[in-house]
């Protein structure tokens, strides 16, 4: 397939494919953005992986830099990847990605390849192998939950390929690589990440519990449903001791398997304990089932604070009125003062542009944009972009101001290779511009996020 120069929305390329069509194709599973403003949609023998750019050399005869992004665009985790096609298009318009990276006195064109995991753990690992061994990726990006990131991270470490991760609690990521969050001395060789941790989530939830306790009076008993997966295991270890120090008692269900369809036993357990609060970290479809059964069976906590679900508009609308005033967290909102390191655009400008381009509500994972900011910073500091050991060393030294906020992988994190983007407490409340709108109701850990509404009880 021949390269086509990216054109404005709605215009046609030489072969009759519109830019909108290219983006839809990318959303369906395969996309390639080449340096020099080239955007193409391709297919390959492996669905979700993309074909090469069709050129073995870039600017001045240099071999192009290949960046492989492994993320969920379809399946149960699709809400996490909803902005990603727009992000790739937006990144392709920035000067470094359009005109090439300047590395060691040379200019290298850049190709971005998108791989849809279809929300499958096994597929995520397989795609990482494909990106490295077949498609010649110089750098991997992986985003959105342990179900995507952990398999990619393990593969990157094993095969010696640098990787930048986001959207995974750092404890889940660190344990998977062989580290101990309680004694964080282990340093991954090829992998870094930015996001928050289970410790930040419980510290985000506790101020909201405190306010409901002060307002309504509670027993300070928290019902906790943590699954038997990477996130659940990390939360089970981290949440109770921090909550206990704040005066809260946990009543925990058994470690249920992902995909459970009957939650009656744990609901009965929570009702018997008289729990006024509820927390969990499930897969989005599992929460929908669990929460509907809780309502049907009369479990009505005064405040529900959940992680990993109700993070995005698609999740909120899927649950409907049952999701009103359920509290969760977010790591990015339009009111934050951060800016693109490429264009200077603000978070609010990015959110507005996303809504105008897609016709939908903004999504916190617009800040996946920063994966590419970190990548550019790392490549700009090396002498050879194809020397994976040198690039891996460089990503561990990145310290930049990005759209996701300050990202410092060199120091200050809870473990080597970790940069923290702390969360704000939010609720989905009835809106004015949209039927449901995410409102910031607590900014204890992220004071830069403007409070936009009062915290409301989930049930009274």
- Shared domain for 243 and 263, answered yes or no, is yes
Cβ(148)–Cβ(71) under 8 Å? yes
Cβ(115)–Cβ(84) under 8 Å? no
Cβ atoms within 10 A of the Cβ of 77, count? 23
pTM: 0.87
| Strand pairing class (139-143; 163-166) | parallel
Residue 448, domain member (yes or no) = no
- Shared domain for 318 and 173, answered yes or no, is no
Pick the residue with more confidence: 149 or 29? 149
Per-residue pLDDT at 158: 98
pLDDT in tens, 265-316: 999 999 999 999 999 999 999 999 999 999 999 999 999 999 999 999 988 9
Cβ(125)–Cβ(133) under 8 Å? no
- Shared domain for 243 and 224, answered yes or no, is yes
Per-residue pLDDT at 336: 99
Q: What is the CATH number for 324?
A: 3.40.50.2300
In this prediction, residues 429-450 reach a mean pLDDT of 95
Q: Which residues contact 140 (CB under 8 A, 6 or more apart)?
A: 67, 68, 69, 70, 128, 131, 132, 152, 156, 161, 162, 163, 164
Cβ atoms within 10 A of the Cβ of 57, count? 11
Residue 8, domain member (yes or no) = no
Residue 4, domain member (yes or no) = no
Residue 9, domain member (yes or no) = no
Residue 210, domain member (yes or no) = yes
- Shared domain for 295 and 437, answered yes or no, is yes
- Shared domain for 277 and 210, answered yes or no, is yes
- For residue 1, is pLDDT > 50? no
| Strand pairing class (277-280; 303-306) | parallel
Provide the domain count of the chain: 2
The phi and psi torsions of 196 (rounded to 5 degrees) equal: -110, -170
- Shared domain for 360 and 316, answered yes or no, is no
- Shared domain for 35 and 172, answered yes or no, is yes
- Shared domain for 437 and 298, answered yes or no, is yes
CA distance 324 to 459: 10
Residue 449, domain member (yes or no) = no
Per-residue pLDDT at 192: 99
Q: Which residues contact 247 (CB under 8 A, 6 or more apart)?
A: 220
Residue 447, domain member (yes or no) = no
pLDDT in tens, 223-281: 999 999 999 999 999 999 999 999 999 999 999 999 999 999 999 999 999 999 999 99
Task: Provide, rounded to the nearest whole percent, the portion of the chain with pLDDT above 70.
Answer: 87
Residue 344's domain comprises 19-196+334-420
- For 310-323, b/e burial (b = at least 16 CB within 10 A) is bbbbbbbebbeeeb
- Shared domain for 208 and 170, answered yes or no, is no
Per-residue pLDDT at 60: 57
- Shared domain for 378 and 302, answered yes or no, is no
Per-residue pLDDT at 58: 53
Which of 328, 324, 332, 336 shows the shortest CA–CA distance to 310? 328
The structure tokens 């700009």 sit at: 380
Per-residue pLDDT at 29: 37
Cβ atoms within 10 A of the Cβ of 139, count? 28
- For residue 12, is pLDDT > 70? no
Report the 3 state secondary structure along the chain: CCCCECCCCCCECCCCCEHHHHHHHHHHCEEEEECCCEEECCCCCCCCCCCCCCCCCCHHHCCCEEEEEEECCCCCCHHHHCCHHHHHHHHHCCHHHHHCEEECCEEECEEEEEEECCCCHHHHHHHHHHHHHHCCCCEEEEECCHHHHHHHHHHHHHHCCCEEEECCCHHHHHHHCCCCCCCCCCCCCCEEEEECCHHHHHHHHHHHHHHHHHHHCCCCEEEEECCCCHHHHHHHHHHHHHHHHCCCEEEECCCCCCCCCCCHHHHHHHHHHCCCEEEECCCHHHHHHHHHHHHHCCCCCCEEEECCCCCCHHHHHHHHHHHCCCEEEECCCCCCCCECCCCCCEHHHHHHHHHHHHCCCCCHHHHHHHHHHHHHHHHCCCCCCCCHHHHHHHHCCCEEEECCEEEECCCCCCCCCEEECCCEEEEEEECCCCCEEEEEEECCCCCCCCCCCCCCCCCC
Which of 215, 228, 208 shows the shortest CA–CA distance to 278? 208
Among the ranges given (9-13, 109-113, 285-289, 420-424), the one the predictor scored with the smallest mean pLDDT: 9-13
pLDDT in tens, 160-192: 999 999 999 999 999 999 999 999 999 999 999
pLDDT in tens, 362-377: 999 999 999 999 999 9
CA distance 355 to 366: 11
In this prediction, residues 331-342 reach a mean pLDDT of 98
pLDDT in tens, 28-63: 334 444 443 333 333 222 233 333 333 345 555 689
Structure token pair of residue 346: 């603000």
Residue 3, domain member (yes or no) = no
- Shared domain for 275 and 375, answered yes or no, is no
Per-residue pLDDT at 61: 67
Cβ(84)–Cβ(113) under 8 Å? no
CA distance 94 to 435: 34
Per-residue pLDDT at 460: 81
- Shared domain for 204 and 192, answered yes or no, is no
pLDDT in tens, 408-426: 999 989 999 999 999 999 9
| Strand pairing class (30-34; 110-116) | antiparallel
Per-residue pLDDT at 19: 34
Per-residue pLDDT at 444: 98
pLDDT, averaged across the chain: 89
């Amino acid at each position: 397939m021949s390269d086509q120069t990216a054109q404005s929305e709605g215009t046609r390329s030489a072969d009759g494919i519109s830019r909108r069509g290219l983006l839809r194709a990318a959303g369906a599973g395969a996309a390639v953005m080449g340096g020099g403003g080239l955007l193409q949609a391709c297919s390959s023998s492996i669905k979700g992986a993309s074909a090469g750019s069709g050129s073995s050399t870039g600017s001045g005869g240099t071999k192009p830099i290949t960046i492989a992004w492994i993320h969920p665009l379809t399946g149960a985790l699709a809400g996490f990847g909803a902005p990603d096609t727009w992000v790739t298009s937006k990144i392709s318009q920035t000067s470094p990605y359009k005109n090439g990276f300047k590395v060691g006195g040379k200019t290298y064109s850049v190709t971005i390849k998108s791989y849809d995991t279809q929300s499958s753990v096994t597929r995520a690992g397989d795609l990482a192998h494909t990106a490295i061994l077949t498609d010649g990726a110089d750098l991997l990006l992986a985003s959105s939950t342990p179900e995507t990131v952990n398999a990619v991270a393990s593969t990157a470490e094993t095969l010696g390929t640098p990787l930048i991760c986001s959207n995974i609690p750092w404890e889940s990521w660190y344990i998977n690589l062989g580290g101990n969050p309680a004694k964080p001395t282990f340093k991954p060789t090829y992998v870094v990440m930015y996001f928050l941790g289970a410790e930040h989530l419980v510290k985000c939830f506790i101020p909201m519990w405190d306010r409901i306790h002060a307002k309504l009076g509670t027993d300070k008993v928290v019902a906790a449903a943590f699954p038997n997966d990477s996130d659940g295991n990390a939360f089970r270890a981290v949440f109770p001791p921090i909550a206990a120090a704040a005066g809260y008692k946990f009543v925990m269900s058994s470690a249920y398997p992902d995909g459970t369809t009957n939650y009656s036993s744990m609901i009965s357990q929570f009702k018997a304990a008289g729990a006024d609060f509820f927390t969990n970290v499930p897969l989005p479809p599992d929460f929908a089932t669990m929460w509907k059964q809780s309502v049907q069976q009369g479990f009505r906590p005064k405040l529900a604070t959940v992680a990993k679900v109700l993070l995005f508009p698609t999740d909120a609308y899927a649950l409907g009125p049952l999701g009103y005033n359920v509290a969760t967290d977010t790591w990015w909102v339009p009111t934050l003062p951060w800016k693109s390191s490429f264009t200077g655009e603000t978070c609010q400008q990015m959110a507005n542009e996303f809504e105008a381009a897609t016709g939908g509500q903004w999504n916190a994972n617009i800040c996946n944009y920063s994966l590419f900011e970190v990548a550019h910073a790392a490549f700009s500091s090396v002498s050879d972009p194809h020397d994976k050991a040198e690039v891996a060393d460089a990503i561990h030294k990145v310290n930049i101001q990005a759209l996701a906020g300050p990202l410092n992988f060199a120091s200050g994190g809870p473990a080597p290779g970790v940069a923290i983007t702390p969360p704000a407490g939010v609720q989905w409340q009835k809106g004015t511009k949209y039927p449901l709108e995410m409102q910031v109701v607590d900014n204890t850990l992220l004071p830069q996020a403007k409070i936009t509404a009062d915290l409301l009880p989930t049930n009274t």
